[in-house]
Amino acid sequence: MISEKMMPLVNNNSAIRMMFEEGKRLAEKYGRENVYDFSLGNPSVPSPDAVNEAICDIVKTEDPVFLHGYMSNAGYEDVRAAVADSINRRFQTSFDENNILMTVGAASGMNVILKTILDPGDEVIVFAPYFLEYNAYINNYDGKVVVISPDRESFQPKLSEFEEKISEKTKAVIINTPNNPTGVIYSSETLTKIADILRKKEKELGIQIVLISDEPYRELAYDGAEVPYVTKYYHNTVVCYSYSKSLSLPGERIGYLVIPDEMDEKDRVFSAATIANRVLGCVNAPSLMQRVIMRCVDEKTDVKAYDKNRKLLYEGLTKLGFECVKPEGAFYIFMKVPSGDEKSFLEEAKKENILVVPGSSFACSGYVRIAYCVSYDMIERALPAFKRLAKRVIKACEK
Ligand code: PLP
C-alpha cells in the first residue's frame, strides 16, 4: 500500500520513535526527574504573555466569520505589511506586503519554495552538518541533495568544496544560520563569499541559483552576535522564517517567506509560491495565528533563559574535558564524541539516562547534538551524570 518513495521515511521514522520510546521507558523506570532528555528542539521558554493575551482578545473581539474564514493564499495583506515593516525597522530593508508570503511554519515554507523552483533532477546544495529533514523536502520534488562536507574546525561552510560542487544542475543552496545543530552563526564575510561564488557561477554556467536562508533561530543569538540579513548579500535569496522558536509556537505552525524585489522574475516567483502554498494543501497559514502575529510582530522570547542554559552546559561540559563547538546562537551544543564512535557513546550516555541525538542525524558523525531548550534545573541535575560519563568515555579513549 505504502509508496516506494515513502518507505525510507517510514523506516527512518522508527529510529526517532525508538528514541522517544527509550525516553519514556527510562522515565518509567527511574522517574522523570532522573532522566536527562536533551534530544528535542522544543522551546522550553513559554510564549510571551502578549501572545496568549492576543489570542484571547482576538477570539473575543474580532468578527468570527472573518477570523475563521479563507483569505488570499499568501495570507492577510495587513499581516504581511506588518511583518515587512518589522523586518525593515530591524534590518534596514525595504520590503512590503508583496514580498511576504505567510506559511505554515518553516517546514512548510521550505516545501513551498522548493516546489516553486525544483524540476526533477535539479540539485540542491546543503552544508553539513544540517537539518536532515531537508533531504525529505528536496526529495518531495525529486530534487537531488548535494552535501558539502563539514569544516570540523570552524563549522562555517567549506567554500572551496562548495564552488567545486556547483553544476549546471544546481538550482538552490540552503543555509541555516544560526545553525541547527552547531549553534554557529555564518559571518558577514562567509555570506559575502557565498554570494560572490553564486554570482560568478550563475554567470559562468548561465543559470539561476536560489539561496534559501532557513532562519527559525534568527532571534536566538548570544553575546551580542549579529545575524546578518541574507537578502542584502545576494539577489536571488529567499528567507524562510518561523515563529516556532522565536515566539515558542511550534505547534501553532506559523512563519513566512521573504521573496525580495531583487529576485529574478520576482512577481512570477511570488505568484507561483502562493499557488504552491495552496496546492501543497496548506491553502493558507492559520488565520488566528496570522492575526496574533499582526499584534505581536515585535514580541521577543526570553533569550536570556536560553543563554543561561548555554553557559551552564557549555562551561560544565568543557570543564569535564568534552570538546564542544561554542554555540553563538540557536539552542544546541554540538559535542565531539571522544572516541569518535557515536553508537557506543550513545549507549554509555543512556546508562546515565542521558539522551542526545547522534551527529549522523545531521550528516556529521563523531558528534552528538545536545538541545539545551530544557529547564535550567535539569541541566544542573544532569551535570553529575555527564561527569560520570566523562570519567568513563574520556578515560577509555586515553588508554
Ligand atoms: N529548519 C530547521 C533548521 C529546524 O531546526 C526546524 C525545526 O526544528 C525547522 C526548519 C522547522 O521549523 P518549523 O517548526 O517552523 O516548521
State whether CATH 3.20.20.70 applies to domain 6-45+301-398. no
- Intervals of CATH 3.40.640.10 along the chain: 49-296
Handedness of CA 173, 179, 182, 184 (dihedral sign): positive
**How are strands ordered across the β-sheet holding 332-336?**
324-325, 332-336, 367-371, 357-358
State how far the Cα of 300 lies from the Cα of 227, in Å rounded to an integer: 16
Per-residue pLDDT of 130-142, as tens digits, reads 999 999 999 999 9
When mean pLDDT is compared across 23-27, 112-116, 165-169, 352-356, the lowest value belongs to 23-27
How much is the pTM? 0.97
Neighbours of 82 (CB within 10 A): 20
- Best probe residue, ligand 1, of 130, 242, 246, 253 (max atoms within 8 Å of C-beta): 242
* Residue from 112, 180, 277 to probe ligand 1 pocket by mutation (most atoms less than 8 Å from CB): 180
Phi, psi angles (nearest 5°) of residue 140: -55, -30
Written out in words, the top-level CATH class of the domain with range 49-296 is alpha beta
Which strand (E) or helix (H) includes residue 303? Answer: helix 303-319
Q: What is the pLDDT of residue 19?
A: 78
Per residue in 31-88, pLDDT (tens digit) is 989 999 999 999 999 999 999 999 999 999 999 999 999 999 999 999 999 999 999 9
CATH 3.90.1150.10 boundaries in the chain: 6-45+301-398
Helix (H, G, I), strand (E, B) or coil at 19: helix
Based on C-alpha coordinates, what's the Rg of the chain? 21
- CA 240 / ligand 1 centre spacing (Å): 10
Dist. CA 115–CA 137, nearest whole Å: 9
Are 292 and 356 a contacting pair, CB within 8 Å? no
Can you give the pLDDT at residue 241?
98
Q: What burial class does residue 257 get, using C-beta atoms within 10 Å of its C-beta: 0-12 exposed, 13-18 middle, 19+ buried?
A: buried
Q: Contact at 8 Å (CB) between 374 and 37? A: yes
